[in-house]
Structure 1
Amino acid sequence: MIKDYLIENQPIFYQIIKNQFENNKIPHAFILSGNNTEKALQFLAMSFICDQKLACEQCVDCQKVLNHKYADMIVFDGLESSIKKTNIEYIQETFNKTSLEGKNKLYILKNIEYSSKEAMNTLLKMLEEPIPGIYSIFTTKNMNKVLPTIRSRCEVIELKPDSQLEFINRLIEKGIDQEKANILSDLTRDVDAIDQYDDEKLDYIILQVINFVEDLFTKRENLIINTQTNLLKTYKDKDSIKLFLRLLTLALKDMFHVKHNQEFIYYVNHIDLFKSLEFDNDDIIKKIELVLETLYLIDTNANISLLMDSMMFRL
């Protein structure tokens, strides 16, 4: 149930909504700010339509909202396409007609910061003259890009970031396997941002990290040639190598954590490998520090290949 998630992870949001709906003091417009607005948005949208005080999540109307089949709900997402003045005018024209559902009407603008100036100004006029029975929910990851005049006419609720475990669970729900979800949780806490990490590229770099660790501790004579052949000839741009170094740091930390029986491990598919490798604590810490030093230097060094060779010699 979304309600259970909100009570546990977003208690301030839930309490605000609960008080407003139970006391029938519901603002006509909300802004939800943060990187994890989707569940709060869904619950709030259902609450506008549900016959209960708050969303029951089970009734026909709640399910219509959840599945985007509620006829009097319009949704635009600025990440999919910049929100334009014509989109706001479409909302106005549509909601001037008789309700199809016979209940409240609702329009949702996700990532409202990706709106044109004209769209913002048209929206502001709508907010200045609210119509009973028409409600709006906006989401944003950057409140500073939302006009102050729009913010002042909305109930603004800032959502706290998901915990790492909750974020991982959300990725697993999307079909991402445990190990990759663990690794992505170190790179971002924004579900929408995971698309920037190309699946094929991320999988390949994860594989190279594991190969690097195996060579480093069991076949050092192969380390440089394998890294040059398999990594640097395929992905030699600065961002890719920084990603490799960051993920290598996680793997080395995992080795330390496996040795000391820590519960959370990023590379969960490779615990047996890490257990089989021999190293002492001081050595692994020095290696982590060296990789982090290389990661820091990479932005100031034009020759990535030489920098990587130097790191491997020192390792």
Structure 2
Amino acid sequence: MEWDALRAEQPVVTQLLQHAVWRERLPHAYTFEGEDRGELIGAATLLCRAFMCSSKEPKDKPCNQCSECKRVLSGNHPDVTFIQPDGLSIKKGQVELLQKEFAFKGMESVKKAYIIEEADKMTDSAANSLLTSLEEPGGETLAILTTGNLHFLLPTIVSRSQVLSFTPLSESKRQERLQEQGETLELAAIKARVGDKPTEIPAEERKTWIVQGRQVVIQLAEEVFKRPPQAKLLLQEKWHTHFKDRGSIDIGLDLFLYWYRDVLYTKWGREDLAYPDQLERLKAEAFNRSEYMLAANMKAVMEAKKYLAANVNPQLLMERLLLRLQEGS
């Protein structure tokens, strides 16, 4: 990522970072908050390059020509450290190892930088250990923490860093980026809307889970529309076996909500669909349902999400939702 690319998506963030680089007055710590993990890491690496760059002209940083820039880009600069979750969390030992390495002078320069990805996943002991480094950074040190959940970070850590909030990408932009990364149109369209959920499922299994969940929702929506008496059977056989807990049910309800929004969008002639491969089914349902009915269905799903959060029994909640969807009220 370069400044121009970052500016195209995050103009305010880019202006703040560039001005700090140009004035050579970078704070010792930043917290980058946003939904797009790739964008956060790209911006963090860009800032590290600008910080480590050996160019004499601040407005040229990063120059991408000096050895400092090239090493940061390649990921093997001896004075730039990346920390990622080890399993489900960032542990105290990882932070202590970082502090031990940074207790010595930079191997090739007086500057040192580190990026902590998904900093909200630090254990309490790791966060408290990091706090010491943020309070007494020592030397020319730049710390960048990235997070999608700022409220999960210790308030004392947040208060000791400059927080920059990255505005969310539009659904279409997220979808475009996912397709550029090799995702199919169908999967990119859904992932652009629900994100990396469910987060408790390992990344390698998450793709299969969302593909299967998407198919369950398509089938259930079709039963509600064409064969209402069969919908309850499908609910028992497929919905409850796939969406097993409240977190996953909430995602399933989101997928349902996107289905009815797509039906409404199809009625309006819009093309930015969450289910672009289901256009014929969407058109058929759009033809047979009024805008009032679709609005009522979307309201029913949103109310189900609210009741789910209030600990209503999931099975009863879904049976009641099906009834409301069939009635269109």
Are the aligned partners of 1:245 and 1:291 in contact in 2 as well (CA < 8 Å)? yes
What's 1:284 paired with? 294
Residue 55 (1) aligns with residue 68 (2):
no
Aligned equivalent of 1:248: 256
Q: Quick one: which of 36, 46, 53 aligns to 1:43?
A: 46
Match of residue 263 from structure 1: 271
Aligned to 1:13: 13
Measure, in 1, the Cα distance between the counterparts of 2:120 and 2:321.
40
- The one-letter code sitting in structure 2 at the alignment partner of 1:165 is S
Q: Deviations over 1:94-126 (max 9, x none)?
A: 234464444632222233344455544554444
- Counterpart mapping for 1:128-167 below 5 A: 128-140=135-147, 141-142=149-150, 145-148=153-156, 150-167=157-174
1:300 is paired with a residue whose SS is coil
Q: 2:24 is paired with a residue of what secondary structure?
A: coil
Secondary structure of the corresponding residue to residue 25 of structure 2: coil
- State yes or no: 1:4 paired with 2:4: yes
Instruction: List gaps (5 residues or longer) in structure 2.
Output: none
SS at match of 1:229: helix
Q: State the number of aligned residues.
A: 311
Query: How high is the TM-score relative to the length of structure 1?
Result: 0.79
CA distance in 2, matches of 1:288, 1:204: 22
CA contact (8 A) 1:223 1:312 kept: no
Q: Distance in 1 between matches of 2:251 and 2:137?
A: 48
Identify which of 83, 89, 94 aligns with 1:76: 83
Give, in angstroms, the shift of residue 13 of structure 1. 1.9
Residue 29 of structure 1 is matched in structure 2 by 29
CA distance in 1, matches of 2:176, 2:66: 26
TM-score (norm 2): 0.76
Q: 1:126 to 1:203 in 2, by over 3 A?
A: closer
Aligned-partner Cα distance in 1 for 2:91–2:232: 52
Q: Which residue of 1 aligns with 2:283?
A: 275
Measured after TM superposition, the shift of residue 41 of structure 1 is 1.0
Unaligned stretches of 5+ in structure 1?
none
The offset of 1:158, in angstroms, is 3.0
Q: Contact 1:301/1:307 (CA < 8 Å) preserved in 2?
A: no
Give the Cα separation in 1 of the matches to 2:134 and 2:322: 60
State the alpha-carbon separation in 2 of the partners of residues 88 and 243 from structure 1: 34
SS in 1 for 2:168: coil
- When residues 205 and 153 of structure 1 are mapped into structure 2, their CA distance, relative to the original with a 3 A threshold, is closer
Shift of 1:7: 0.8
Which is worse superposed, 272-281 or 219-228? 219-228
Residue in structure 2 matched with residue 95 of structure 1 by the alignment = 102
Q: Distance in 2 between matches of 1:273 and 1:194?
A: 27
Match of 2:76, SS state, is: coil
Contact 1:74-1:106 within 8 A present in 2 as well = yes
Distance of 1:236 and 1:129 partners within structure 2: 47
2:327 is matched with 314
In structure 1, what residue type is equivalent to 2:207?
D
* Distance in 1 (alpha carbons) for counterparts of 2:128 and 2:307: 46
> Among the aligned pairs, what percent are the same residue?
24
Task: Tell me which moved more, 177-186 or 296-305.
Answer: 296-305
Question: Structure 1's 165 and 196: CA in aligned 2 closer, same or farther, altered over 3 A?
Answer: farther
Q: Specify the alignment match of 1:171 in structure 2.
A: 178
Secondary structure at 2:62's aligned position in 1?
Answer: coil
C-alpha deviation, 1:268, in angstroms: 0.8
Residues 1:213 and 1:28: Cα distance change in structure 2 (over 3 Å):
closer
Contact preservation (8 Å) 2:82, 2:117: yes
**Equivalence for 2:312:** 300
Residues 20 and 287 of structure 1: is their aligned pair in 2 closer, same or farther, counting only changes over 3 Å? Answer: closer
Q: Which amino acid aligns with 2:141?
A: I
Give 1:253 shift. 1.9
